[in-house]
Amino acid sequence: MYYVNQDQIERRLNAIPEIARGLREAAEAWDGGLVYGFVQERALHLAIEIVTDVGSYLIDGFIMRDASSYEDIMDIIHQEKVMPDDIHAVLLQLVRLRKPLVQEYYDWERHSLHPLSSVLPEVLERFAADVRDYLKREL
């Protein structure tokens, strides 16, 4: 019997609609200014934390192999059929932004709209649905 912390997974997935909204609004109103730059930056960072946290809860709860990196978290849950190839590809791009956003923030380009900002809202929403479907299937 598995112990999957569904409460913590759901709490994180429930944050996705606001992050998606922030990304959509920033992309639609993009003016290259600092405020939208910070909105984008924070939303991307939160999206990374959500998908890696959820992935870690799934890995721990279903006793999947140990992950060695953020990218590996995405690879493992993809291999376990949590999400399809297209979502996996975008989320890999997303988690690769963690180091630039968190450790090299002083070099982050805040005045340009990042290409993921326009596609990520839908991807995050699909990720949440995929995770919920996976939990229903497996539990």
**DSSP3 helix / strand / coil % (the chain, rounded to 5):** 75, 0, 25
Which one is catalytic: 42, 96, 98, 110?
98
Query: Is the Cβ–Cβ distance between 98 and 69 less than 8 Å?
Result: no
Q: Burial-class residue 100 by CB neighbours within 10 Å (0-12, 13-18, 19+).
A: middle
| Residue 110: active-site member | no
User: Tokens 């990218």 label which residue?
Assistant: 71
Give the single-character DSSP code of 82. Answer: S
Q: Which residues are catalytic?
A: 98
